[in-house]
Structure 1
Amino acid sequence: MDTLTYEVKDHIAEITIQSPPANALSSTILQELNEILNELEAEKSLKAVILKGEGKFFSAGADIKEFTEFQGGKENMAFKGQAVFDRIEQFHAPFIAAIHGAALGGGLELALSCHMRFVTKSAKIGLPELSLGIIPGFGGTQRLPRYVGDAKAYEMILTAEPVSGEEAVAMGLANRAFEEEELMDAVRKIAASIASKSKPSIEHVLKLVPNVYESTLNHGLKDEASRFEEVFRTEDASEGVKAFIEKRKPVFQDK
């Protein structure tokens, strides 16, 4: 692949965007990311995915020059990007975005499709599309309000002004902020903590949390109760309870 690399180790995949100087999202990156998702779907033992950028940025936007070439053509880049990002959001293992430098425009929209976002304190986070006379097209207008609320989403999108990593944490857009040199160690530690859990439990949680946005509270509660009963019958649940009683760490078999 030309723009992305990935490796899988200890139930964790690590995807790296390598498209200098800005890791700007292009049709090539979207295509290769889609191909990687195809390959990772076959990794049945996978429990977490880290997404990061090489160089100075996570991803400082979309490839605007390429966008203008597609404008008016048969291929709609927005639909293409949204399809890939939807796959990330619905993936069977949680995606963790490790953001340094900047996540702007399409780069932030990519991060918004992940289940968690960890940032450096000085990172620039925003959707600057209106400064170019366009609007977000990879889901920014729909996902951003879920994390920061309508009023703040309007402010960020309409002013096109970025916020810092620390501000992103304060408004609920990012989980935690770290110093630049601490970010990857912290993210890998978090991914390892997730990977130590039972895979069936992880997968059920990934199905349940979206109910908050897609169904009524009553439906969500019924779905949770049903899935709780299903998980409670697994071998891992028996091991977890037994380990708790015996005051030891559980040894899950992902069954």
Structure 2
Amino acid sequence: MSEDHIKISRDGAVLEIRFNRPEKKNAITNAMYGAMADAIIEAESNDDIRVVLFTSVGDFFSAGNDIKDFAAQSAGAFDGPRHVGRFLEEMIKAEKPVVAAVQGHAVGVGTTMLFQCDLVYVAEDARLTVPFIDLGVVPENASSMTMVDRLGHTRAFALFGLGEPLLGKDAAAWGLANAALPSGEVQPRARAAAQALASKPAQSMRHTKKLMRDREALMARMREEGEIFAERLRSPEAAAAFSKFLQR
């Protein structure tokens, strides 16, 4: 159940969203996306919450989207509403600061969501990968824009095209993360930063974040990617990639 795989807690004015599916490397299911979207909406509407913090259990931050969900969509066997788009939109629209503690590896959306965060703390030995092309799909979460803007075209294309991992220490050196730390120090550092942000004047913080982000451009790119992504999910390339992955 999503309530087991996503843990929501409060520490004063900080709302913590915690991936809690370590047996599946914190792969994100449709229900988990829904729980996270609801949590962000709650944070945005509650004046007592000033900061959102993402953490996780285990040695993976997140393995990204659950491939079984992708495979079901590719085969036309997925019923009901899809919550991933809602989660991605709420991340882009969020006016309150979002902090991430990446104490382990991150794959797919587990990496691209970091470009929508305001502060990121990462383990030195973490490996961040974006294997969208290998899966027969395309980047999502406006990452075809955010990764290029932050890392530059050649570095971003190596991550997308060659599937090269971005190591935690390089994520800090290249401007994705604020600091690369020993794994055990990541979450305490992120929690301290979240509390520091929560102590600042709230409306000044929100206006500053809004001025720093072009939400309309991010939303437009995310929707453009989403249309192509949906088409690619039904492609023979994607079906073959998902089948190969699930046979491992």
* TM-score, structure 2 normalization: 0.78
Change (3 A) 1:202 1:74: farther
Look up the match of 2:12: 10
Is residue 126 of structure 1 aligned with residue 118 of structure 2? no
Please tell me the root mean square deviation across aligned C-alpha atoms, in Å: 2.4
User: Which AA in structure 2 matches 1:4?
Assistant: I
1-structure distance, mates of 2:196, 2:34: 30
Look up the match of 2:198: 195
The offset of 1:80, in angstroms, is 4.4
2-structure distance, mates of 1:196, 1:41: 17
Change (3 A) 1:137 1:92: closer
1-structure distance, mates of 2:177, 2:186: 13
The 5-angstrom pairing of residues 1-255 of structure 1 reads 1-21=3-23, 22-71=25-74, 73=76, 80-211=83-214
Look up the match of 2:243: none
- Between the aligned residues of both structures, percent identity stands at 26
Asked if the contact 2:44/2:96 (under 8 Å) is kept, the reply is no
User: Which AA in structure 1 matches 2:55?
Assistant: K
Unaligned runs of 5+ in 2: 218-248
The offset of 1:213, in angstroms, is 8.7
User: Which AA in structure 2 matches 1:157?
Assistant: F
Change (3 A) 1:212 1:48: closer
1-structure distance, mates of 2:107, 2:210: 28
Q: Which runs of 4+ in 1 moved over 3 A?
A: 72-77, 211-214
* TM-score, structure 1 normalization: 0.76
Asked if the contact 1:118/1:183 (under 8 Å) is kept, the reply is yes
The offset of 1:15, in angstroms, is 1.0
The 10-residue stretch of structure 1 (157-166 or 37-46) with the greater mean CA deviation from structure 2: 37-46
Unaligned runs of 5+ in 1: 215-255
Change (3 A) 1:68 1:88: same
Asked if the contact 1:81/1:138 (under 8 Å) is kept, the reply is no
Secondary structure of 2:41's counterpart equals: helix
Q: Deviations over 1:159-217 (max 9, x none)?
A: 01112100111111212111111111111111121111101111111110014995xxx
Secondary structure of 1:45's counterpart equals: coil
The offset of 1:91, in angstroms, is 1.2
The offset of 1:75, in angstroms, is 6.8
The offset of 1:139, in angstroms, is 3.2
Change (3 A) 1:143 1:7: same
Look up the match of 1:224: none
1-structure distance, mates of 2:150, 2:178: 11
Asked if the contact 1:3/1:32 (under 8 Å) is kept, the reply is no
1-structure distance, mates of 2:208, 2:123: 27
1-structure distance, mates of 2:79, 2:54: 25
The offset of 1:62, in angstroms, is 1.6
The 10-residue stretch of structure 1 (201-210 or 34-43) with the greater mean CA deviation from structure 2: 34-43
Who wins on radius of gyration, i.e. which is larger? 1
Q: Deviations over 1:68-126 (max 9, x none)?
A: 1012539799x842431221232131111110211111211222222222101000112
